Structure 1
C-alpha cells in the first residue's frame, strides 16, 4: 500500500478579458455531477474544489450562492471531502478592473471570505488564495495576466496589496472556522545555473521562490541575501513588517517547468539537472515544518505520458515520506482536461489542454485511459512500483530528458495506440513562461 491519499481537482480559472472560465469551456458547470461521479468511480473522495468568486459576486456587494450551494451541499451529502479554493489565479470579479493591483481588493476580498465562512461553517479544509507567488508573478512581474504589469516594483506592490488581506482572512478563519484547516498552496520550485550570470540568477530565483510565503508568515526576507538590494529598490522593505497569517497544511504544486536552468544567455524550463522531487519536497518541509500535500501536478501529453509522470510523482511522494516528511496526499490537477493553457489563458478558444485524468474528445465527452486506470489503482492503495510506465512520446520525452536517470530502474511498455488524448502538443512545442502563439 502506498499510503498516499489520492486527491481530485477541477480547473476553473476565470479569464477576465473574455468573461468566461474553464468550468464553462469544459462544460463542468453543467456536468459537475457526472464529473464527480468519475471521482467516485476511481475511489477518490478528497478533492480541491473552487468557488467562483467572479460569478458569486458578479455585481459588487451582491452575492449569489445558488450554484455554489448546489455543488458544496452535494459534496457534503455524498461523502466528499473538499479543500475549497476561494481564489484560483485571476478568478476575481470583473468589476475589479485593476485585478490584484486594485485598491478595492482588500475590502472586497475580506467581505467575500467572511460571507463564505458564515454560509458554509461545516467546511473542513480551504485554500484562501491559490498560488499567490506564481499568480502575482504572472500578473505583476511578467505582464502575462491582467492587469499586465511588469517588473519587481509592480510585483512587490501587488504582494503588498494582496498578502495582508489573505493573512487577515486566515486569522479571522481561526475564529469563524476553528476546526477547519488552511491549506496554503503554491509552486514548489528549484533552479540551477551555470556561468557567472546564470548561476547568479539561479541563486536569486531560489531565494525568490520563498518570498511570498516567508512574508505571509511574518519572516520577511534575508536583509543580506541575494534579493535584498533589489527588494529595497522596489519598495520591498515593507514585506519585513507584515502581520503574520496562519497556515495548517503546506500544499506544493509541482510541474516539470517548476525547475528552470539558467546560463549566461537566458533560462529554460527544461533543466538538464532536475532535483528529484522527493528532495525538493523535503527542502520545503524542512524550511516550514508543516504537514504537507502535493497539491498539483500534471504533464501536457498523451495519456500514457501522463500515466508515466503520475508514476514518477507518486514514487517521489513515497520517498519523501520515507525521508520523514509528513506528506498526506497527492493531487493530479485536474481530473478532466483543461482548456486554453496553450496560450496561458491569453486567448479563449476552447483549445483542449491534454492534462486530465480523463481526456476530453471534440464533443467534450469524458474518456477513460491508461491514466485513469493508474489513478484509480493508486487511489485503491497500489504503490508506485506496481503502476505501469510507458515509453515517452515527443515532445514530453525531450521535456523530461533530465529526469531519465531518476526513472532508469523502471521496465517500460510501449505507449498504447489507443486513448492518446486530444489536442496533443506537437514536437516543436516548448514549455515556456510566455504567451505562445497568442496572436
Structure 2
C-alpha cells in the first residue's frame, strides 16, 4: 500500500437530499410524493444526517479521514424566491465548523441535483432565469460562509442531463427493436445502468403522459425541467453559463476560494475495431465540449464508477460473466485511473476525485474496489498528475434517488428504524491510506 501524504484530501461524500431528510421545499420531495412517481419510495427522514452530522463527521475522523464533501441544500436556504432562511445557513455553518473541529476539510457543493420547487415553476434548468437565480443564491452563501470554506463545487455532475437524454434516446431505440421482434420486455435494467445515478428509466418513459397532468397540479407546468431531466443542447450550455456566473460571484467575494464543478465521466474503451469514432463522440459529449467553460477553474471534480465499451456498431454490453454491482454497473475500479489520465491530458488544473464507489452488499468487495481505485490514484500522482484528493461515494448507505434505499454504497450502514450507525470495515480501510 502506497499511502497518501498528509495534505492529500482523503474523505467521503454525501448529497444533502440523500442523507438529511425532510427536504420538503425541493422538487425531488414533490416528485417522490406524486401519484405517478418514478421513485420506488420517498426519502422521508433519509438517514437524519441533518441532525446527526456530528456523529457522522466524528466517525470519519476516527477512521483517519481528513476531508468531507457535502452539499448545501438550496431548497432549505432559499425556500421561496428571493427569501433566504438565515437559520438554515447557520446550520451549514455549524456543519463546516464541525468538520474543522474534527480535522476534516469541508469540500462544499452548492447544488447536488435537488432544486427549490419555485425554480421549477419558472422553467427550471432550461430557463434563462436560472443564471441570475443561482447567482443570487451563490452570493448569499458566499457572503455568509465564504470565509469558512476553501473548496467549492458549484454544480454536481453538470453533464448528467445530457447523459440521461442520450440514454433515453438509446432506450427508445431498444424499445422499437424489441417490439419489432414481439418481445414484451425491453431489458431496461441494462440501460438504467449506463448512467451514473439512481434512475428508473423505463418507469420514467412509461409514465410520461400521466406525469404531465400531475406536473401541472404540482409545479404549474407540464414539462418539469429539473436538474436531472433529459437536457436539450441549449440547456446543456446554460448549465455552463450558470457555473461561470456562480464562479464569478465566488471569486469576487472570496478570492481565496478554490472553485470548480464536477462531471460524471465513464472510461470509454474501444474493444472492437471500428469503435473508435463512437468512443470519441461519447467523450466529446461527456467531457471535451465543456473545456472552454472550465479551463480557468481551479480544479475539476472527477466522478467515475465504471467503464463504457464500444465496437463497430456503437456501445456494447458488459462482458458475459463480469461482476456487477447493485446499480447494474460493471465492477471495474481500474476505470478511475484511466479517467484521471484522460481528463488531465486536456484539463490542466488540479483534479479532485469527488465521487467514486460501488453499491454492493459484500463489504469485502468494497474494500477490494477501494484498494484498486486508490492504487490507480497513486499511480497518477507518481506520474506528476495533480490529483489533490479522493472522496469515496458514499459515506452512508442512503437514498439513491429513484432507486430508494436498496442501493448500499456506504462506508457506514444505517438502521433506519433507529438511525443507528454501523461503520463497515471499508471505512477504516479507506482511512488507513493516509500517512
Q: Kindly indicate which of the two structures has a greater share of residues assigned to helix.
A: 2
Matched, 1:26 2:86: no
How far residue 135 of structure 1 moved from its aligned partner, in angstroms, is: 4.1
Q: In the alignment, is the contact (CA less than 8 A) between 1:196 and 1:264 conserved in 2?
A: no
How far residue 338 of structure 1 moved from its aligned partner, in angstroms, is: 1.9
Matched, 1:297 2:322: no
Gaps of 5+ in 2: 18-25, 34-40, 170-200, 205-223, 319-328
Matched, 1:156 2:211: no
> Could you tell me which residue of structure 1 aligns to residue 388 of structure 2?
328
Matched, 1:366 2:421: yes
> Could you tell me which residue of structure 1 aligns to residue 190 of structure 2?
none
Q: In the alignment, is the contact (CA less than 8 A) between 2:71 and 2:108 conserved in 1?
A: yes
> Could you tell me which residue of structure 2 aligns to residue 138 of structure 1?
164
1:183–1:288: structure 2 CA closer, same or farther, 3 Å change rule? same
1:271–1:51: structure 2 CA closer, same or farther, 3 Å change rule? closer
> Could you tell me which residue of structure 1 aligns to residue 115 of structure 2?
92
Q: Distance in 2 between matches of 1:250 and 1:8?
A: 17
Matched, 1:354 2:430: no
Q: Distance in 2 between matches of 1:149 and 1:62?
A: 21
Q: In the alignment, is the contact (CA less than 8 A) between 2:259 and 2:299 conserved in 1?
A: yes
Q: Distance in 1 between matches of 2:52 and 2:44?
A: 9
Aligned residues: 344
Match for 1:75 among 71, 85, 96?
96
How far residue 125 of structure 1 moved from its aligned partner, in angstroms, is: 1.1
Gaps of 5+ in 1: 218-244, 382-439
What TM-score, normalized by structure 1, do the two folds share?
0.70
Q: Distance in 1 between matches of 2:312 and 2:83?
A: 51
Q: Distance in 2 between matches of 1:23 and 1:80?
A: 28
Bigger drift between 301-310 and 207-216 goes to 207-216
Bigger drift between 61-70 and 72-81 goes to 72-81
Q: Distance in 2 between matches of 1:356 and 1:273?
A: 18
How far residue 177 of structure 1 moved from its aligned partner, in angstroms, is: 0.8
Q: Distance in 2 between matches of 1:165 and 1:316?
A: 33
What TM-score, normalized by structure 2, do the two folds share?
0.70
- Deviations 1:319-363 (CA, angstroms, capped at 9, x unpaired): 011111111111101111122x3xxx336xx42421111122353
Q: Distance in 1 between matches of 2:246 and 2:238?
A: 14
Secondary structure of 1:252's aligned partner? strand
Matched, 1:52 2:51: no
- Deviations 1:10-51 (CA, angstroms, capped at 9, x unpaired): 222462512798694122122222111211212323211211
Q: Distance in 1 between matches of 2:12 and 2:356?
A: 11
Q: In the alignment, is the contact (CA less than 8 A) between 2:334 and 2:373 conserved in 1?
A: no
Q: In the alignment, is the contact (CA less than 8 A) between 1:142 and 1:148 conserved in 2?
A: no
Secondary structure of 1:310's aligned partner? helix
> Could you tell me which residue of structure 1 aligns to residue 9 of structure 2?
5
